[in-house]
Structure 1
Amino acid sequence: MKGNMNNMMKQMQKMQKKMMKAQDELHEMSFEASAGGGMVTVVANGQKVITDVQIKEEVVDPDDIEMLQDLILAATNDVMKQIEDKTNDTMGQFTKGMNMPGMF
């Protein structure tokens, strides 16, 4: 019985190391989303930190600030969804088959 427990602990430690490596790799990734046919582009890292916003000059219209705001929101929401999906795909492999509420 003791051998099984030690073996299980080693397996858990191995899985934990794999999870930490996968999480580190996710944090280093870069994600990009555009809106308005590329008029607004938002770049974020895997930690959900916006690292760049690019706005094409021709989309800046002082008489239509709302459109620019909508494009920025759309691109930002899209990039955040990409990060969320990738995180769920990557980290979900570690929780498959486990009924653990609150885990990826």
Structure 2
Amino acid sequence: MKGGMGNMNNMMKQMQKMQKKMEKAQEELHEMTFESTAGGGMVKVVANGKKQITDVEIQEDVVDPDDVDMLQDLILTATNDVIKQVEDKTNDTMGQFTKGMNIPGM
């Protein structure tokens, strides 16, 4: 039985190390900046790793009162793309911790 407890303690230490690495990776992700443009750079959307939009830049040339739909489409395109970038980076970064593990919900 004693050998089993040693293995359990060792496994718990490894899990704690992995948890600290995961927390550090998540903090680093949250500090990252992601950027997407649409319309050849006419609209730029910037987000952080928390999926929060931190900046939107719109070139004056694209602001046409007769074609608001196009501007809205450009903003949506850039916003959706920047959020996808954050999600992809998050999945790549955090996925390294769950590779090979069969954990439901991860």
Give the TM-score normalised by the residue count of structure 1. Answer: 0.97
- Cα deviation, residue 102, structure 1: 2.2
- Cα deviation, residue 100, structure 1: 2.0
Letter in 1 for 2:40: G
Equivalent residue, structure 2, for 1:83: 86
2:20 aligned with 1:17 = yes
Q: Which runs of 5+ in 2 are unaligned?
A: none
- Cα deviation, residue 101, structure 1: 3.0
Equivalent residue, structure 2, for 1:8: 11
Equivalent residue, structure 2, for 1:50: 53
**1:19-51 Cα shifts (integer Å, max 9, x gaps):** 000000000000000000000000000000000
RMSD: 0.6
Equivalences for residues 57-96 of structure 1 within 5 A? 57-96=60-99
- Cα deviation, residue 56, structure 1: 0.1
How far apart, CA to CA, are the structure 1 residues paired with 2:42 and 2:65? 15
Letter in 1 for 2:101: M
Greater Rg by CA: 2
Q: Which runs of 5+ in 1 are unaligned?
A: none
How far apart, CA to CA, are the structure 2 residues paired with 1:83 and 1:2? 41
How far apart, CA to CA, are the structure 2 residues paired with 1:19 and 1:82? 19
Identity of aligned residues (%): 82
How far apart, CA to CA, are the structure 2 residues paired with 1:82 and 1:5? 38
Stretches of 4+ moved more than 3 A in 1? none
Q: How many residues align?
A: 103
Matched residue SS, 1:41: strand
